[in-house]
Structure 1
Amino acid sequence: MSKTSKDRKGCSLTLALTVCSAAIGGTLQYGYNIAIINSPTVYIQKFINETCVERWGTALTSSEVTLIWTLIVSAFSLGGLLGSLLAGPMAIRCGRRQTLLLNNCFLMASAIMALSSRPAKSTEIIIAARFLVGVNAGVSMNVQPMYFGESAPKALRGAVALLSAVFTAMGILLGQVIGLTEVLGGEAFWPYLLASNAIPGLLQLLTLPWFPESPRYLLIDRGDREACSHALGRLRGCEVSDAEMEEILEEQKAAGVARAKSLCELLADRGLRRQLCIVMAASSSMMLCGNDSIYFYASYIFQEAGVSAEKIQYATIGTGACEFAAAIMSNLLIERVGRRMLLLGGYVLMAGWAVVFTLSLSLQGKVAGMPYLSMACVFAYILSFGMGPAGVTGILPTELFDQMARPAAYMIAGSMMWVNLFLVGMAFPFIVNNLGQFCFIPFCGVCVASAIYLRLTLPETKGKTLSEITAEFDRRNTKGLSSSLQNQSQLQETLHSSESVEIEQF
């Protein structure tokens, strides 16, 4: 075997192991913790009622139990919002890898609380546990794509960053399997199910310290060229590419002595406003498109299609498998098709399937076979989401912002995701109650609007360096500014000529 092939093998192996170690305790946790809360719903609601009877001697009404359950579910989103705000400062102060390791403190505390909630007979402990695991997910959802994007070579940057979505889908699928009645989904095991997320966290704590920090962080943020070269050597093989080192040095030179931007500084920077609007719109659309809501609607669809109650949990696993398969397929296509095409194509397909889904729900009970068409729409909608928005959205802050602005950009992107996830989770039951079979029309509108906006504003970033992407936005900004100045000039000429006419008439 030649030296070059050995280097490539070492590069791919080290990079692959780094990705797996970071993701097991990162975005896999996000997907896993979304999935495991569904199966013990009835048992936890029963525990809520029993706890209140023991404390106050009065049983809660159905609406009161639902309200407390909503607080438990919503605590995850609120914790995620706090985690998103913590992610930027932690990534700057501690580094990308060290932040992911420290992030497991929230996870371990959450697992201990989950295990102690039943002996303590406390619903409040469950809420606190879900809040802390949300903080963990919020940090990892922001820092992990940053770590991947800064560690991967340019040719593999998109594919490596997209692995965050692959591991999210894997976490959903794993959580659905672990939540089966035969595994940890029974009434006696729900505290262990909620605490089982500690196992991936322990795996990360044992493995991630063996892998290098982000090379770009080491050179640009810490100014340690030797550590950067060593990290690149481990991630790429024995020989460090001069071109790649020059690219990082060029970015360091452009940054100069500047420090990382704060949230307020990024919001005030007019030169980055177009990129920021794109990231905010894409992050919001990812949660407002209704993909997470369709998971909750899937059980009803399967029931209407004639799937027996005891087998619905197995049919639901198919939804997680769909998103996992779509994420892998997207990972294989992203460096060929490009980010823009996958993102736009995903939203267009989702809009189309939302229309078909609405028709099938409207005709259910009137036309034979509609429940099965509804099932097909559930899987197709999830596949379309996994092919584009699920993975590409997380890459955008890495590719559109430089090292100084990237942490703050991820803070904003993550905050938009968690706020909108919270809003959709709270609003979806009311949407269903008021719109009935037309409940996916608003989501269809979000998909159409997102596709149009991103089509008009987002350039293709495949295979481009940060300087090339920035130059593209500068050209667009200059073009927009020139057009604005030209319009102002034409307006002034029109006003001047009209004034001249008035004077002559006078």
Structure 2
Amino acid sequence: MEIPESDVHFQKSKFPSITLLLAVFSAGIGGTFQYGYNVSIINAPTMHIQKFINETWNIRYSDNLDRGLLRFLWSAIVSMFTLGGFLGAWLGGHLAIRFGRKGTLLLTNIPVLIGSILMATSKPAGMFELLFIGRFLVGLHSGVSLCVQPMYLGEIAPKAVRGAICMGTSVFITVGILTGQIIGQRELLGGEGQWSILLCSSCIPAVLQLLLLPWFPESPRYLYIDKGEEMKATLALKKFHNTNSYLSELVGLEKECAVVRVQQSKRPCELLSDRSTRWQLITTVLMNMAQQFSGINAIYFYATYIFIQAGITEAYIPYVTMGTGACECLAALCCSLLIERLGRRVLILGGYSLMALWCAAMTVTLTYQVSYFWMSYLTMTCLFAFILSFGLGPGGVTNTVTGELFTQSTRPAAYMISNCVNWISFFLISIVFPIIVEGLQQFCFLIFLAECLLGTLFIYITLPETKNKSFLDIEMEFRARNFKNKDTESPNGAMMLSRSPKV
């Protein structure tokens, strides 16, 4: 199929259509925005919720709750979000295959709405146990969204702007974090009387998505390759890319469909044993682990201490902390503007390299902070620089690359595995990190420095540039690494890939 000159001109402009941008907003507001928002809002009412648990226990048993047990119950409430997220990540791929990408995003609003109602009624009902269930259901939604939303955005975007569109996942996470920090201020919903409303407020983005997302089509790739509904897929492409620019994407769909239609969507256990995707899977798994172990959690842990040392009074620290959220949000927005110009490799390698530099700098400044009053300001500068580097690099690019390294039949299983690893790593670092900090104090950043350097080296060796390449082109680049003998046929169609013309 010959691509008209007008289509080529549109590709060169690399500007997404208004419909595509609105679809990104509709998917993100009820998707990964919820993840960032619910991670953020739980911090503000910590003391108020613990007080409510203690008062409820006293009413029931006429005795104050043991402090150790109170701490355990609070930790369990927080951890239920992670448990729900892990289960959601495991279910996300299966749901995306059965109900479609858009259908799954709409479906998973149900647990958010139920969870919001349960958390809102926990205080009037005098049942703190409802917080456990509510947080689990909200976490379940976040796990599914982190799996399915990047899949949906990557499949509706033209390859010329795929990186920028996929960055919507990270942008909405950071916007959610910042919004949660703002709404959680004591002047708004962070006060003692409003914390149940704060936890319930996650129902608002869910309702917005239920109202907006149905107006946009399902993923054209899902319709064309998975469902075989070519007419609907063509109409979806026209709606997302407008009439004059959808033909090149349709050509790519036809070529990929010729290769992967003979394959069933793989399950995670099948993907783990599939030689043709071995290095793609290794790369995405280790990139997700590196993102969690990079030291970003240490930065947020040390933020309050650093702000106090810089002379900021404790009453104003919540407002200054909003600066960290704004900083990460700004970095994600900048990354979305740069990713198609500089490429994925430059951003993620540069991000990890700069993070290693700031880890070294903060080790020095924290060591001599007591000796020199100006060191605390230098430490604060390094803290914000680290957050910017994380947002411009691994925080923004990792999710985008995960979707690009796989074709239609392997992408759902790949997201399931990588996101499960992400949630497990998040859980492990939350347990191990306090022990590391207590034992090493500021020298804990040397561990994160080593991890950032190792991550940089691994990504430099294994990750090719994926900018402006089709999914088949990217898979072909990994073929030589997955099969030492390039002429060896793989049982799932690797030889078919080598015969397919490039998009």
TM-score (norm 1): 0.91
Tell me the residue number matched to 2:44.
Answer: 39
Match of 2:251 in 1: 246
Offset, 1:173: 0.6
How far has the Cα of 1:481 moved from its partner? Answer: 5.0
- In structure 2, the residue matched to 1:393 is 398
Percent identical among aligned pairs is: 48
Q: Deviations over 1:429-465 (max 9, x none)?
A: 2222211222222222221111111111111111111
Which residue in the other structure is 2:357 paired with? 352
Give the C-alpha shift of residue 318 in structure 1: 0.2
The residue number in structure 2 matching 1:261 is: 266
Q: Are 2:118 and 1:113 aligned?
A: yes
Q: What's the CA shift string for 1:133-162, capped at 9, x where partnerless?
A: 111111111100100000000100011001
CA distance in 2, matches of 1:21, 1:9: 21
Check if 1:79 corresponds to 2:70: no
Residue number among 20, 23, 26 corresponding to 1:18 in the alignment: 23
User: Does structure 2 retain, via aligned residues, the 8 Å contact 1:49–1:59?
Assistant: yes
TM-aligned CA distance change 1:467 to 1:284, over 3 Å: same
Opposite residue 183 of structure 2, the aligned amino acid is I
Q: 1:216 aligns with which of 221, 226, 230?
A: 221
After TM superposition, list the pairs within 5 Å mapping 1:196-345 onto structure 2.
196-239=201-244, 241-345=246-350
Aligned pair partner of 1:161 in 149, 157, 166: 166
Report the Cα offset of residue 264 of structure 1. 0.7
Moved more, 86-95 or 424-433: 424-433
Say if 2:412 is the partner of 1:407.
yes
Pick aligned residue for 1:183 from 185, 188, 205: 188
Q: Kindly indicate whether the alpha-carbon contact (under 8 Å) linking 1:293 and 1:425 is maintained by their aligned counterparts in 2.
A: no
Aligned position for 1:445? 450
Do the aligned residues in 2 keep the contact of 1:229 with 1:240 (CA within 8 Å)?
no
CA distance in 2, matches of 1:239, 1:88: 33
Q: State which of 383, 388, 402 in structure 2 corresponds to 1:383.
A: 388
Give, in whole Å, the separation in 1 of the partners of 2:386 and 2:142. Answer: 24
Amino acid at match of 2:412: P
**Given residue 122 of structure 1, which amino acid in structure 2 is its aligned partner?**
M
**C-alpha displacement of 1:312:** 0.5
Higher helix share: 1
Deviation of the 1:475 alpha carbon: 2.5
- Checking the alignment, whether the CA contact within 8 Å between 2:279 and 2:481 is kept in structure 1 is no
Kindly provide the amino acid, as one letter, of the partner of residue 412 in structure 1. I
Determine the C-alpha separation between the residues in 2 that align with 1:49 and 1:439. Answer: 35
**Secondary structure in 2 matching 1:440:** helix
How big is the shift at 1:390?
A: 1.0
Partner SS for 1:364: coil
Q: Partner of 2:75: helix, strand, or coil?
A: helix
Distance 1:375 1:160 in 2: 32
Native 8 Å contact 2:347 2:393 kept in 1: yes
Q: Indicate how the Cα distance of structure 1 residues 393 and 27 shifts in structure 2: closer, same or farther if over 3 A, else same.
A: same
Residue in 2 that maps onto 1:495: none
Structure 1 distance, partners of 2:148, 2:137, is 17
User: How many angstroms apart in 2 are the aligned matches of 1:423 and 1:63?
Assistant: 21
Written as runs of structure 1 = structure 2, the 5 A alignment for 1:423-462 is 423-462=428-467
Q: CA deviation at 1:11?
A: 5.9
Aligned equivalent of 1:68? 73
Give the greater-gyration-radius structure (CA): 1
SS in 2 for 1:439: helix
Comparing 123-132 with 234-243, greater Cα deviation is found at 234-243
* Superposition deviation, residue 250 in structure 1: 0.9
Residue matched to 1:171: 176
The 8 Å contact of residues 80 and 134 in structure 1, kept in 2 or not, is answered as yes
Q: Is the 8 A contact 1:11 1:234 kept in 2?
A: no
TM-score by length of 2: 0.92
1:477 Cα offset (Å): 3.4
Question: Is residue 105 of structure 2 the alignment partner of residue 103 of structure 1?
Answer: no
1:178 is displaced (CA, Å) by: 0.3
CA contact (8 A) 1:74 1:425 kept: no
1:242 Cα offset (Å): 2.8
The worse-fitting range, judged by mean Cα deviation, of 278-287 and 444-453 is 444-453
Q: Distance in 1 between matches of 2:79 and 2:465?
A: 36
C-alpha distance in 2 between matches for 1:347 and 1:415: 22
Deviation at 1:64, TM superposition (A): 2.5
CA distance in 2, matches of 1:127, 1:244: 45
Q: Which amino acid aligns with 2:229?
A: D
Instruction: List runs of 5+ in structure 1 lacking aligned partners.
Output: 483-506
> What secondary structure, in the 3-state scheme, does the structure 1 residue paired with 2:190 have?
coil
Aligned to 2:3: none
Amino acid at match of 2:109: N
Structure 2 stretches of 5 or more lacking a match?
1-5, 487-503
The 3 A distance-change label for structure 1 pair 440 and 127 is: farther
Distance 1:131 1:160, change over 3 A: same
